[in-house]
Amino acid sequence: MLAVLAGGLAVPEPGWAGTPPRADLPRVQIWSDPVDGLAIGGFDPLAYRFYAEPREGRSGLELSWGGAVWRFLNPGNLAAFARDPDAYMPRYGGYDVTALAANNAVQGHPGIWAIHENRLLLFANAVNRRLWEEDKAGTMARAALAWPEMSRRIPPFVPPAGKLSIPVSDDPAYALKDMPGSRPQAMKPELARPSGILP
């Protein structure tokens, strides 16, 4: 089955016959916004590798894959992702690796990240990133063990029926989302990231 993109490019939908299953991705489950379905807050997953920083994708350059909508900076990034999504999407769908290692599924923050073994990792906060740095091998091993069960517990994105009203904070860096056990998530990390925290 193919999904047709703007410009007429057709790309395979997830689960098509040519996509081999991955050991760390038993069921495709992507960190996506509960309102619009944007993966990793609308940031281009290739920008981390090619620009060494998070960059927001453009609304005109989108691809629906894995139950989420991915945005890209340019058509080349979109085409590269369409050819091999597993190579560019964040490991564990963008969920915080340190939290997974502790048997918790917590969305990673697009502004707190690392490239490890040629894969993008996202972290919910700077503390979790620091804990991962102190024990990369152990954290990655525990996350790999926890992911199959955790990925089954994460509900898939279901587009809302009708228009939703979204609460607005006084701080323009935040879009408030009700997420169990968490504070509002920064949708523009460059505005919310304290100085001194390295991505």
Give the pLDDT confidence of 92-117 residue by residue, as tens digits. 999 999 999 999 999 999 999 999 99
For 186, residues 6+ apart whose C-beta sits below 8 A from its C-beta are 109, 111, 173, 174, 192, 193
- Cα-based distances in Å from 191 to 69, 76, 106, 196: 23, 27, 21, 13
- 173: pLDDT strictly greater than 90: no
- Cα-based distances in Å from 105 to 49, 89, 100, 151, 171: 24, 17, 6, 8, 26
Mean pLDDT of 134-143: 97
97, 142, 95: which is closest to 116 by C-alpha? 97
Q: Report the run of H or E that residue 114 belongs to, with start and end.
A: strand 109-116
pLDDT (0 to 100) of residue 143: 96
Distance CA 165, CA 142 (A): 39
85, 131, 81: which is closest to 106 by C-alpha? 131
Beta pairing class for 109-116 and 119-123: antiparallel
pLDDT of 11-65, one tens digit each?
333 333 334 434 443 345 788 887 888 999 999 999 999 999 999 999 999 999 8
0.85 surpassed by pTM: no
